């Protein structure tokens, strides 16, 4: 099955015609092919493709809490009449809805200013989102935006579990030299083919490692995504002033490349089951790799952004007031016991140090007051954040 899906046949033909391809090319086709890619499918499934649960799908409290980040951005930008909130990977608009509901209840003056842009490569999901927003009365606050049609605006950028699914290269250190794992075809299936990386890729990796003071040992396997750098460059260039918040699997570079994480972080997800084999169910399983937040930060600062902090999802949501929503629910006399315990369980999962709470949250700012410190971020290092969980 894994070698006869439509996406697999496209890749097999490409390899047979032109020889081994980079894993970034393989991943791009498997996830983003216009017809056969995992993220372009017309079918709607529960969860992220029905293959694992993201924080917004776990409970509305996640989006409700992020509404405070929206309000803080509106305030630091001088309470403008119009505030763009641009959400990358918005899918069917669930996170947007939860944010707008919270603003409607808690900060109607902020809601009046909101111009919420849903950014996604899947037009089927965006059409569903706009239809849903029309049904609940938020359609005047929301619009769909294709990634290629973004224009520079001031405001807030949100990206929850987006960067981890951007195409990446897979590499290793062999006799002190960088080597790349490309994708070949042996007549029966896809295989790893070791090759010399292109000069541009090698120079980008070398410069990043030098910047971070990283020296990888013999045999280390890792991923590196110049496409992630291109994406954060576009984010920076399209934010004239404001805040970008990136929430994802990931670490700062020293933590990501520490000794116990040198076997690579690439994973496939299918029906809530993880696999280390990216060549299964091509186009039908999700593929992700941990985000190197240091690389995103390096790139963003070169485009005029400022590092506002890197923390854990547990710390970020807690400081933004996640617990306030649970306490408020507890005080409502008409709330059923099972509803409260469901919300309590979801809250614990969102900050669980062994799960979603360990996610990284990167804050980046542009053209903000020098003394501005966002509420959700602390001054501790990411390593200290992890140690405190």
The domain spans of the chain are 55-166+226-249+290-371
User: Which residue has 């629910």 as its token pair?
Assistant: 329
With 70 as the cut, is the pLDDT of residue 4 above it?
A: yes
Read off the pLDDT of each residue in 318-327 and give the average, rounded to a whole number: 93
The phi, psi pair for 218, rounded to 5°, reads: -55, 135
Please give the pLDDT value at position 197: 97
Read off the pLDDT of each residue in 230-259 and give the average, rounded to a whole number: 93
Read off the pLDDT of each residue in 326-351 and give the average, rounded to a whole number: 91
Confidence of residue 51 (pLDDT cuts 50, 70, 90): very low
Please give the pLDDT value at position 46: 45
With 80 as the cut, is the pLDDT of residue 14 above it?
A: yes
Confidence of residue 386 (pLDDT cuts 50, 70, 90): low
Rounded distance between C-alpha atoms, residue 79 and residue 107, angstroms: 12
Which distant-in-sequence residues (6+ apart) come within 8 Å of 10 by Cβ? 29, 33, 36
Please give the pLDDT value at position 273: 84
Please give the pLDDT value at position 3: 65
Read off the pLDDT of each residue in 308-323 and give the average, rounded to a whole number: 94
Mean residue pLDDT of the chain comes to 91
Q: In the structure encoding, which two tokens stand for residue 11, read together?
A: 């890749």
SS3 category, 155: strand
User: Which residue has 């520079």 as its token pair?
Assistant: 152
Please give the pLDDT value at position 1: 46
Rounded distance between C-alpha atoms, residue 75 and residue 9, angstroms: 51
With 50 as the cut, is the pLDDT of residue 279 above it?
A: yes
Sheet holding 267-270, edge to edge: 273-275, 267-270, 286-288
CA distances for 190 relative to 20, 25, 279, angstroms: 10, 13, 6
Contact 323, 275 (CB under 8 A): no
Query: Other CB atoms closer than 10 Å to residue 259's CB: what's the count?
Result: 7
DSSP state of 217: P
SS3 category, 310: strand
Please give the pLDDT value at position 147: 87
Please give the pLDDT value at position 108: 96
Please give the pLDDT value at position 271: 82
- The pTM for the full model equals 0.93
Q: In the structure encoding, which two tokens stand for residue 215, read together?
A: 């020296």
Please give the pLDDT value at position 48: 47
Query: What is the tens place of the pLDDT at every residue in 249-274?
Result: 999 998 888 765 678 899 999 887 88
Contact 365, 305 (CB under 8 A): yes
Query: What is the tens place of the pLDDT at every residue in 70-108?
Result: 999 999 999 999 999 999 999 999 999 999 999 999 999
Please give the pLDDT value at position 309: 95
Poorest-pLDDT segment among 52-56, 60-64, 167-171: 52-56
Give the angle subtended at the CA of 337 by the CAs of 334 and 343, to the nearest 5°: 100
Please give the pLDDT value at position 308: 96
Task: Give one DSSP letter per residue of 192-215, joined into a string.
Answer: EEEEPPPHHHHHHHHHHHHHHT--
Please give the pLDDT value at position 221: 93
CATH number corresponding to 55-166+226-249+290-371? 3.40.50.12710
Q: In the structure encoding, which two tokens stand for residue 92, read together?
A: 């069917």
Radius of gyration of the chain (CA): 21
Please give the pLDDT value at position 226: 98
């Amino acid at each position: 099955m894994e070698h006869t899906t439509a996406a697999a046949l496209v890749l097999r033909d490409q390899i047979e015609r032109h020889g081994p391809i980079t894993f970034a090319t393989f991943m791009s086709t498997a996830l983003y092919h216009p017809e056969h890619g995992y993220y372009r499918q017309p079918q709607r499934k529960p969860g992220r493709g029905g293959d694992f649960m993201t924080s917004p799908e776990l409970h509305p409290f996640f989006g409700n809490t992020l509404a405070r980040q929206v309000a803080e951005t509106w305030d630091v930008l001088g309470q403008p009449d119009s505030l763009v909130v641009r959400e990358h990977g918005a899918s069917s608009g669930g996170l947007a809805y939860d944010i707008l509901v919270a603003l409607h209840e808690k900060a109607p003056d902020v809601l009046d200013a909101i111009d919420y842009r849903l950014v996604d490569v899947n037009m089927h999901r965006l059409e569903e989102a706009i239809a849903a927003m029309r049904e609940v009365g938020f359609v005047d606050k929301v619009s769909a935006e294709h990634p290629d049609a973004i224009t520079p605006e001031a405001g807030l950028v949100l990206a929850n579990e987006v960067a981890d699914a951007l195409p990446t290269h897979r590499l290793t250190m062999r006799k002190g030299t960088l080597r790349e794992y490309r994708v070949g075809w042996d007549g029966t299936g896809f295989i790893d083919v070791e090759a010399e990386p292109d000069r541009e890729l090698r120079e980008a990796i070398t410069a990043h490692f030098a910047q971070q003071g990283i020296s990888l040992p013999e045999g280390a396997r890792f991923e590196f995504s110049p496409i992630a750098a291109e994406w954060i460059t576009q984010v920076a260039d399209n934010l004239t002033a404001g805040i970008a918040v990136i929430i994802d699997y990931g670490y700062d570079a020293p933590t990501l490349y520490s000794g116990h994480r040198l076997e690579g972080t690439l994973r496939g997800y299918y029906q809530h089951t993880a696999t280390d084999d990216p060549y299964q169910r091509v186009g039908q399983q999700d593929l992700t790799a941990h985000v190197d937040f240091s690389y995103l930060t390096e790139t963003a600062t070169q485009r005029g952004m400022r590092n506002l902090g890197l923390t854990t999802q547990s710390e970020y949501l807690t400081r933004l007031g996640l617990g306030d929503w649970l306490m408020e629910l507890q005080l409502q006399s008409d709330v059923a016991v099972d509803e409260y315990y469901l919300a309590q369980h979801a809250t614990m999962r969102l900050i669980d140090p062994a799960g979603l709470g360990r996610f990284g949250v990167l804050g980046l700012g542009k053209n903000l007051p020098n003394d501005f410190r966002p509420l959700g971020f602390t001054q501790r290092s990411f390593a200290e954040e992890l140690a405190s969980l």
